[in-house]
Amino acid sequence: MKYGYVRVSSRDQNIDRQMTAMKEAEVPSERVFIDKISGKNFNRPKYLRMIRKLQENDEVYIKSIDRLGRNYEEIIEQWNILTKVKNVDIVVLDFPLLNTKNSVNGVTGKFIADLVLQVLSYVAQIERENIHQRQKEGIKEAKKRGVKFGRPPLDLPKEFYEVVTLWQSGCISMRSASAKLGINHRTFAKWVSLVEGQKDENIDCLCN
């Protein structure tokens, strides 16, 4: 049997393109499983339901590999479950090399697809490492030019810390503390939160 899997990241995204591809591949609409959820993992209700229905020699169609998932390590794990444990074929419509039904010069489609996925996983890992390295180098060069990172210092009233101490010790309420500084209690709470956040950042820098 032919099954289709369609995924978008949110409920307001359009699935028409993927559904058209399923129709062109002659996948019956009643056997198309649709998830409107992030692809960060495979804990998806319709995907898991499809897995339970699959029988040996069934076929699973997806429009593109990123509809299956975002993380290549997890994609490879699921690919192995589908092709080796469930023993079904997978057809990625936008990527002919990821079609386990095909064979080239006696080499099976499953073998070719496994190799392609390993290469894609390696390329994705290298790209992540390159992005991280470029970010580090960019920050280093920016610091040389005097660029400051992190939150700018707050321009607080000189009596702010004294009032905060009174509030933290329970001597005055938040509204009283706010009134002493001539601000509303929401601004007071925001300032306290920002000051605490800057303290945490400083501690992290010392630890690193």
- Tens digits of per-residue pLDDT, 74-133? 899 999 999 999 999 999 999 988 999 987 777 888 889 998 998 888 787 787 788 888
CA distance 192 to 72: 42
**89 touches 98 (CB < 8 A):** no
CA distance 129 to 49: 35
Q: What pLDDT does residue 197 have? A: 62
Question: Is pTM beyond 0.85 here?
Answer: no
Q: Is 90 domain-assigned?
A: yes
100 and 166 belong to one structural domain: no
Q: Is 190 domain-assigned?
A: yes
Average pLDDT over residues 20-30: 96
Q: Is 153 domain-assigned?
A: no
Q: Is 173 domain-assigned?
A: yes
Q: Is 85 domain-assigned?
A: yes
120 and 195 belong to one structural domain: no
Number of domains into which the chain is organized? 2
CA distance 58 to 88: 5
Q: What pLDDT does residue 186 have? A: 86
Average pLDDT over residues 21-42: 93
**HSE, side-chain direction, 13 A CA sphere, residue 2:** 15
Domain-terminating residue out of 124, 151, 168: 124
CA distance 176 to 167: 8
Catalytic residue among 9, 103, 173, 193: 9
Q: Is 105 domain-assigned?
A: yes
113 and 171 belong to one structural domain: no
CA distance 184 to 205: 32
119 and 171 belong to one structural domain: no
Q: Which domain holds residue 74?
A: 2-124
Q: Is 9 a catalytic residue?
A: yes
Average pLDDT, the chain: 85
Average pLDDT over residues 166-183: 86
Q: What's the start-to-end Cα distance of the chain, in Å? A: 56
119 and 62 belong to one structural domain: yes
102 and 197 belong to one structural domain: no
Distances (CA, A) of 67 to 86, 93, 123, 154, 188: 20, 11, 18, 45, 46
Q: Which helix (H) or strand (E) holds 61?
A: strand 59-62
Tokens of 137: 């180098």
Of the chain, the percentage scoring pLDDT greater than 90 comes to 36
Q: What pLDDT does residue 137 have? A: 84
pLDDT bin (cut points 50, 70, 90) of residue 32 is very high
Q: Is 131 domain-assigned?
A: no
10 and 69 belong to one structural domain: yes
106 and 14 belong to one structural domain: yes
Q: What pLDDT does residue 203 have? A: 37
Q: What pLDDT does residue 202 have? A: 44
Average pLDDT over residues 142-165: 76
Q: Is 135 domain-assigned?
A: no
pLDDT bin (cut points 50, 70, 90) of residue 44 is very high
**HSE, side-chain direction, 13 A CA sphere, residue 43:** 2
Q: What pLDDT does residue 198 have? A: 57
Of residues 4 and 186, which shows the higher confidence score?
A: 4
